[in-house]
Amino acid sequence: MRKKENSMVVRERKREPYSKSAVRESKPKKEFTKVELKKEPLKIIPLGGLLEIGKNMTVFEYEDDIIIVDCGLAFPEDDMLGIDLVIPDITYLEKNKEKIKGLVITHGHEDHIGAIPYFLKQIDVPIYATRLTVGLIENKLEEHKLLRKTRLKTVSQGQTITLGKFKVEFIRSSHSIPDTVMLGIHTPVGTIIHTGDFKVDYTPIDGELMDFGRLAELGNKGVLALMSDSTNSERKGFTMSERTVGEVFDRLFVNCTKRIVVATFASNVHRVQQIVNSAVANNRKIAVCGRSMVNMIETARELGYIDAPENEFIDIDMIKNYTDEQLVIITTGSQGETMSALTRMAAGEHKKVSITPNDLVIISANPIPGNEKYVSKVIDDLMKIGAEVVYSSLADIHVSGHACQEEQKLIMALTKPKFFIPVHGEYRQLIAHSETAKKVGIPEENIFMMTNGRVLEMTPNTARLAGTVPFGRIMVDGLGVGDVGNVVLRDRQHLSQDGLIIVVLTMDSGTGEVVSGPDVISRGFVYVRESENLMEDVKRVVREEIEKCEERHITDWMTIKTNLKESLRDYVFQKTKRNPMILPIIMEV
């Protein structure tokens, strides 16, 4: 009995302190949970690349740390007269420059690295990229005399770096340029996968398959959000392998007795490699034309990304020493750009290459939307000379570097993201990509259609849109960056469409009387000799307006100029139904 009593006492004693400690321990558990809930959200802020093609740039911000993914440019639209290129507005980053830990680059295309020199002139940060991408960035920085000052860090595929509270993993990917990576961005609230530009190519030219295993591993661990390339999201099926283009080149090169000129994107290193392969197989020497193509091939060969015999390439000045059937010329100009090498060849204006009927010209690219008419004109001009032209409508000499719907589904299936953010595309492409995401089971409320400047805040379980930051387009015109805005563009459009009238008069500063003039000069409005009466009428209207100002004792130059503008605008429109820009110039003596 004693034993039983003792055991009962022991049990009772154990039970009592156990229950008290359970109560005591429950409090810190609750406090710990509250700390978790108060964790700062991750902010994702696109500054470019949404509702547009190009200018890709995305900001990731957590507490006092910022990392930036890509820093690209866009090419000007038709209405941007005189503009050379367009870059993102980085006002938000300039205000928060002390938080920035680094700039991370996915690959070496212009729409992902082109704005780096302009960015570095405002903000000095280290740049992390793979070897070929670093080589291409170095070329750009050397042109801008920034190479010595810049902290360029070379990383390898599969490597992970720590930038403040972020860990960035470089995951091997496939695209039309070697050394492309997806990014696994490990943050305190979860893992974000940013695909950059990609396609799923099971037979890549360099044999470097996308790291599907790592993507699946991250998916099994849990991916908070997937940010995925939307460029080809409207296209069903799969993008063809780059190798299929090599087979077409082989067929075109075999038994061809003509000189072969191939135009393609300078950045498409895999395409250049296949042209090299076909040239070597058919005992042809290769000459390179176009500054961007020369720079790209030199960099890729130095770093070992283009495999060719040592003496395969010759200088463009040496082509006269070879017969047509011994030559291949690789050139820029596949988009019909005005000053490109192929366009000048087609117009008979190139200093070193003259197109003849014994040339086979292969345009190995599809026209970018908006460039169709330029490409068509180049094809027409080449055919008028008598050259044989092969382009995308006649043969499969181009494949895209971007994923179609089935490839996009594969990436979603591997990563199994909680939230989905389509990026890199115009509105219709982002919509198509979000529809694909719904088909693979991502709930509609977990899909976020972002716009440039919009802030997305994410916690481990939630995501919400929360305000905006400054964003926009900075236009580069010659050496001027940002000094051409919408007002200047509007003036350029006005001048290009309606012309200009300048009215010059000299007035006495004391009395306000007209000492000489008015003289009228017009440009782009009417041909003066055939419209002398109209010019005389314009002078008469100016005199009448000056007299009205004198009668009303108006002596302020600005008021007189405004009145002159309005009177002339009304009169000229009434007579011609045109609306030229009118510039009154009043000199005082």
Contact 192, 62 (CB under 8 A): no
* Tokens, residue 152: 């360029």
570 is catalytic: no
Measure the CA–CA gap between 391 and 333, rounded to whole angstroms.
13
Which of these, 64, 84, 59, lies nearest to 74 by C-alpha position? Answer: 84
Which residue type, as a one-letter code, is found at position 66? I
Contacts of 369 by beta carbon, 8 Å cutoff, 6+ apart:
none
Residue with tokens 């911000």: 61
Within 421-505, residue ranges assigned H as helices are 427-439, 486-498
Contacts of 451 by beta carbon, 8 Å cutoff, 6+ apart:
46, 50, 51
Contact 213, 172 (CB under 8 A): no
Angle, helices 291-302 vs 131-143, to 10°: value is 140
Measure the CA–CA gap between 148 and 523, rounded to whole angstroms.
47
Helix (H, G, I), strand (E, B) or coil at 429: helix
Angle, helices 427-439 vs 405-415, to 10°: value is 50
Q: Given its phi and psi angles, is residue 194 left (phi above 0), alpha (psi -120 to 50 degrees) or beta?
A: beta
Contact 153, 133 (CB under 8 A): no
229 is catalytic: yes
* Tokens, residue 225: 């959000």
Largest CA distance in the chain: 133
Choice among 402, 424, 477, 498 that is catalytic: 402
Q: Where are the beta strands (DSSP E) in 322-433?
A: 327-331, 359-363, 388-390, 417-423
Contact 284, 327 (CB under 8 A): yes
Measure the CA–CA gap between 496 and 526, rounded to whole angstroms.
13
Which residue type, as a one-letter code, is found at position 481? V
Task: Return the active site residues.
Answer: 229, 402
